[in-house]
Every structure is written in structure tokens, then in C-alpha cells.
Amino acid sequence: MTNAPSSEPAILETTVAVVLAAGADAASRQLLTSPLGDSTVAEVALRNVRAVFPAQQIIVVTAPGDTELRDRLGADLIYVEQAESLGTGNAVAAAREALPAGAETILVTYADTPLLRPESIRGILNRFDLTGRQLTLLSAIVTGEFPHGDILRGADGRITEVLEHDEIPSTVEGATHEINVGTYVSNGVKLLNQIDALAATSDHRLTSVVKRAIDSGDEIETYRIYDTDEVQGINTTTELEEAESIVLKRLFVPRKNTDTKIVFGTGGWRAVIGEGYTLANVRRLCQAIANEAIRSGKDAAGVVIGGDRRFLSRESAEAAAEVFAGNNIPVVLLPDDVPTPLVTFAAPFLGKTYGIIITSSHNPPEWNGMKVFRADGSLPLDDETDRFQDEANELTVKDIVTLDLAVARAAGIVVDQTLTSEYVDAIEAIIDVEAVRGSNLNVVVDPMYGTSQLTLGTILSDMRVRAEFIHAAHNPLFGGIAPAPDLQRLNALISMIKEGNGRYDLGMATDGDSDRIGIVDEQGEYVSTNDLLLLLYWYLHEVRGEKGGVVRNLATTHMLDRLAAHFGEESFECKVGFKHVTAGMDKIGAVLGGESSGGLTVRGWILGKDGIFACALVAEMLARTGKRISELREMIYEITGRLYSLEAGVPATPDMRVAVPRRLAAEPLTHIGSYPVVSIDHTDGTKILLENDNWALLRFSGTEPVLRMFVEADSPEKAEELLDWLRGFVTA
């Protein structure tokens, strides 16, 4: 159990939270221990109260002999029993003898209203403190009927009456009105005195305290909540089901101001700069990684750290270096900006425990993040990244150990080192540079304002390839677009090749951190990564003579499976995330692994995707085959047949994240349109398999708030038909 954060309303130290959990009857008490999300109704409610109050200032009022609730909520809270179920005022009075010394203010809330946010609790406390009123209510503006009383106001805005639910006129139904949510903050002595006075008249309702205050001329303050989901009480099983939907939806709501937790996706940790992505979070995450290295006895080997061209990347890399140095962990700090695959290469090349790159890959320019690589250059699996993020999120500023960078450099625990030549040499040891020389290849390269121009430019120069670079300047805004090398963002590259009238043999592109590739053929046609993987798999097998299967993620073309079957080799499907691709390659001894989003690697190279290496390999393929990309594609289609892929994405709203999986579970699919469903795979998202290697996939992105839709079909028309069906399904 955690104590309250330090930045809370000033009155918190003299306030006690009284949580009413006795219930009106056995049925209502049973609902309190019913499952809600990952715990129970009462536990969710208390979790929100605990986020504001320390345990010693929380009193839970239970029914007589209710030990189950105590066992669930924790022994560190204060418990009292309501001897008789007389009403809410009587329940508050039962807490009198347990009030801590110095308690001046009482907040009253309910265990059966679990969706009240900690922010709203802070808000009502702050409003009570600042206005000086004796009583503050939590209110909400709603439309339609709610099981709450109404608040009526006069022309001057002051509260004139608070009605019980059964006192509300029927004309209110369907109309917009202000309700009394039922959470109160009051001067403790005055509240208890009012409860006692009303009890003498056999009135035990808290709302009567409010009415009495109004009648005596007291001005009542309100704090209004605007998320009406918070109003949801749980008094019936139907309301419990509604609450479950709200809890699920909240899991996916971006928390912009109050929740800056570090969360790893499929490609590292990424967040919007100034919100989740801050230098403070960079330090917390690095401290967690340093702790893991020390615990495992691998700290002496040290780490290698680099950054790309994004805003704050250099400052973040230096902040990371200070944390590792402060923990006595040696650091190799790569100067300037570097590609992600260079850091992937650097970890095993230098024998480091971890490689760390500050980047947000292909995300829009307002994002940044961090990728972590293990000693062998592979991405950590989920259990490892879960440990990193969970520990980092528990750390405070006081837990971070740093050493000033200038001191660390002078002491030699941080060493600046350039590895560009070593990385280029390692690629050229695998790529047949000599075969490309003399081929007279002429290419255009679009690094998309990213980090590939130095390394890729050096390799192409060594190959004697004539290369023209566009968008090569250092621009943290990436020209105002996300630096992803896909069809929609390579218009300049496509236009340049088309306008060259046969001058160029190829267009190459890499994303912001250079681990993805995009290709445009000599005619100015964008070549999908699905097709590129087919070409490279054929080339590695038939020209280079490298045998072995192929690994693809579940969003990548099934034509690879057809080509593998033609070769008599194995194809392996894995979850999205390149760590799963490299794990699959190791499992079957594959020669190639890739994903439709632009990432690939080959056996014998790094255990991560590399757009720079991929560009060099494509140049080698053209030189050694003597064929154009368009010619190679037609040749491969003769072997595999043709499948047509399409993809789209829509913003992944919280409602959608709840509704889409539920609809898929509730309505088992037998057809997509007129096409029969062969099987459905829920390994990663929902993949719907049709006849003849046709398929459709719905999957929520692990790196962006997007629902991705992928299809592959026998014809462009059928592919469009399948994609339209998916669009209709998710927006219905």
C-alpha cells in the first residue's frame, strides 16, 4: 500500500476520509466484493481514496462482523462498524470515535462509487479550502435520469434546495439537470453536531444535513465533475456491468497531466514530449535499468548510449549517461546523432550489458522515447521491459543517483567514442561491395531528415553508387510529417524518380532512426515491404545460396509462405514487434526475418531491424542480378502468384478498445461479406483467415493510439472490399 503523494491540497493533513461501506443490505454488500477490473468494487474505490490520503487518515465504515471487506482492503486502514443500518448520517457518526487526533475536516465518500477519480477528490478538497465554506458538495451536470438527488439553484447561482431522488419531478426525465453525487467535505465538528441534531428527530440522512445548512442560511459550495462516468454507482448487477465497461475504457485513455507513467510498447518506450516524455522520466528509467544491471552482476560491462535527431535526444542521452555513471556503470557515449541499428550493433561489438538509443523511431515529431537492447543486440522481451517500467514508475527524484557529466568524463567512467567506421565496416564485411562497383547504379536517397545519411552515404560511396540525398538536413520537425518511409510520405522521392525519365535505378528511404526501409522502383512506383521481403528472400536463397526459412509477423504477406514452400523451407508467423521476429529466426534458423512496416534483418547480421543494411543489400541484389526491381517482382509473382495488401488506421478511442473485442467475442464471425471464414487467431489482435491465403487483421498498435487494419486478397478489388468491411465493423 502506498502513501499519499506529497503535492496535495493544503488541508489534507487535518482531513480524514470516511468511506461508507456498510451497505443497505446483504445484496449491496455482496456487490462491494464483486469483481471490477483487476480487483473488486470496494478495492477500486479505496484505491482512488488511497491515491490522495495516507492509510492512517482513511476510516472505512463496515457492517457488523464484515471481516471479508477488511481482508480485501488491507489491515493498514482504520475500520469501524455501523451497529444499525439507519442511514448515511448514522454511518458517518459511527466513525466519530476513530477520528485521528487533529482531524478538523471530514470527507465523506462511498465504497459503491468506485469510479470517482483521485483528481475529483483533490478538486473538492481544494475548493473547500479556498472558498472557506462550511460544506462543499460534489455535483455533476447530467442528461436523463440518474439515481441521485437534484441540486436546485436560484437566479444568483446559490443552492436553494437539495432533493432526494424520489422528490425529483418527472419532468426532469430526459432533461439536463445538476445532481448531488453524494461526496461531501465539511468541518468535522459542525458535521457531527448536525448529524446528532437530526438523529434526535430520527432523521439519519446526510442530505438532511445539507437541507438544514441551507435553511439556516449557510452558503453551500460545489465542486463540479465533468466526466459523468464518475457518477456511476453500483447498486445492481446492471450497474456493475456498466462500471466494468468504464474501467476497461479508462485503461486506454491518455492521461496528459496527472499520469506520466513509463509504458513500453512493441518498440520501446515512447511518449509525447513535455507530457510523458521528460528528462525526469528518462532518468527514472535509466535508474531502473542500472538497478537491474547491478542486481544481475552485469554492471561492470557498462552500457553504450546514443541519440537520434529528435528534440531533446542529445540532452536525454547525456542525462542517461549521468545516471549510469552515478551508479558506477561505465558508459560509452556516442557523439552527435546516430542510427538505431548502430546502437544495436554497438552493444555486442563493445561487449556492453545494454545498448540505449534515444528515439521515437517513425512517430510524429512531438514524440520521443527510448529503445533498450540487450548484450547480444536483441530487444528485451515483455517480462524484462515490464520490470524496467514497473520499477521506474515507483522511483522518486530522491531515488535517482547521478554524476555530473563533466566529472564523469574527467574520471573516465563516461567515454565519448565514435563507432561509425566500425559499423560501416561490419556491413561491408557482409555486403558484396565489389559486386556493386562497376554496376553504374544511380539512386536517390531520402533519409527523411533522420540519421542514415552519414553511414548509408559512406557505404554507397564505397560501392561507387551515384547517390543523391534529399531531406538530409538536421530538422527535428521532420518537415512537419512523421518520418515513416511509406507511400503517403515519399511523394518527393517518387516525383524525383518519375521526373528523372529513366535517370535513376532506384529510390531508397529510411525512417527517422534508420531502422526501417522504403523502396521506390525505377518507374517511380512504391514497392511495398511485403514485395521487398519476397525479392530479398528469393535473392538470398537463389543467388547468394543461403538456405533457411523465413519469419514474418502476422501483419506481413503470406506470399512469403508460398515462396518458402516452393523452396521446401519453413515459414514462421510471429506477433508484431521485431523482438518476436528475431526470436523466431533463432527458433527455425531462418535466413530472413521481416515485417510489412519496413523492418528486416538477415541471418548473421544484428538481432534488430536495419534500414541502412537493407538498402545496401538491395543495391547488391540489383548489381548481381543485373535486373530492375520491376523485373524481379514479375519474376517472383510467377512463382508465388499475386496477393494484394492494403492497410489503414483509425484513432483508437477508449470506447473502441472496449467495444471491438467485445463484439468479436459476442458475434463469432462466419463470413466477411460473402467470403467464408476458415479460422480466427487471437494471438495478437484478431486475424481472420479466409480461403486461399486471404486474411484480415484488426490490431491495436503498441506504439501509437491507433487501431490498425490489414488485409490481403486475390485482387485489389477484393482487398478493398475486405478493408471496407473492417472499417464498417470497427465504426459501427
Q: Which amino acid is at 576?
A: V
d(CA 463, CA 455): 13
- Name the DSSP class of 11: G
pLDDT of residue 2: 42
Judged by DSSP in three states, 106 sits in strand
Note whether residue 439 is domain-resident: yes
629: enclosing H helix or E strand = helix 629-640
pLDDT of residue 259: 57
Judged by DSSP in three states, 30 sits in helix
Do residues 433 and 463 share a domain? yes
Q: Where are the beta strands (DSSP E) in 69-143?
A: 78-81, 105-110, 135-143
Note whether residue 260 is domain-resident: no
Give ∠ CA 648-703-721 in degrees, rounded to 5: 15
pLDDT of residue 257: 44
Do residues 18 and 143 share a domain? yes
Q: How far is CA 394 from CA 24, 111, 262, in A?
A: 38, 26, 10
Q: What is the CATH number of the domain that holds 717?
A: 3.30.310.50
Do residues 594 and 618 share a domain? yes
Note whether residue 531 is domain-resident: yes
pLDDT of residue 256: 46
Note whether residue 4 is domain-resident: no
b/e per residue 168-188 (b: at least 16 CB within 10 A): beeeeeeeebbbbbbbbbbbb
Do residues 46 and 101 share a domain? yes
| Cell 548473421 sits on residue | 604
Measured on CA atoms in the order 433, 308, 489, 595, is the torsion positive or negative? Answer: positive
Do residues 431 and 475 share a domain? yes
Range of the domain at 525: 425-640
Do residues 87 and 215 share a domain? yes
Q: Which amino acid is at 714?
A: D
Note whether residue 722 is domain-resident: yes
Whole-model pTM over 0.85: no
Strands 644-651 vs 671-672: parallel, antiparallel or unpaired: unpaired
Chain centroid offset of residue 287 CA: 21
| Cell 440518474 sits on residue | 146
pLDDT of residue 258: 47
Do residues 361 and 447 share a domain? no
Residues in the chain where the model's pLDDT stays below 50: 1-7, 252, 254-258
Do residues 476 and 524 share a domain? yes
Q: Which of 243, 166, 246, 204 is nearest to 22 (CA)?
A: 204
Alpha helical stretches, state H, 351-490: 382-394, 405-411, 420-428, 433-436, 453-462
Do residues 556 and 650 share a domain? no
Q: What is the CATH number of the domain that holds 307?
A: 3.40.120.10
Do residues 431 and 398 share a domain? no
For 582, half-sphere exposure in the C-beta direction (CA atoms, 13 angstrom radius) is: 22
Note whether residue 536 is domain-resident: yes
For 292, half-sphere exposure in the C-beta direction (CA atoms, 13 angstrom radius) is: 22
Note whether residue 253 is domain-resident: no
Do residues 599 and 661 share a domain? no
C-alpha cell at 342: 548502430
Q: Which residues does 3 contact at the CB level (< 8 Å), separation at least 6?
A: 54, 55
d(CA 550, CA 560): 7
- Name the DSSP class of 441: -
pLDDT of residue 16: 97
pLDDT of residue 171: 55
Decide which of 417, 436, 455 is a domain's last residue. 417
d(CA 327, CA 346): 21
d(CA 316, CA 359): 10
Domain count, the chain: 4
C-alpha cell at 481: 510529417
Do residues 308 and 396 share a domain? yes
DSSP assignment of 468-502: EE-S-S--TTGGGS----SGGG-HHHHHHHHHTTT
Decide which of 176, 209, 231 is a domain's last residue. 231
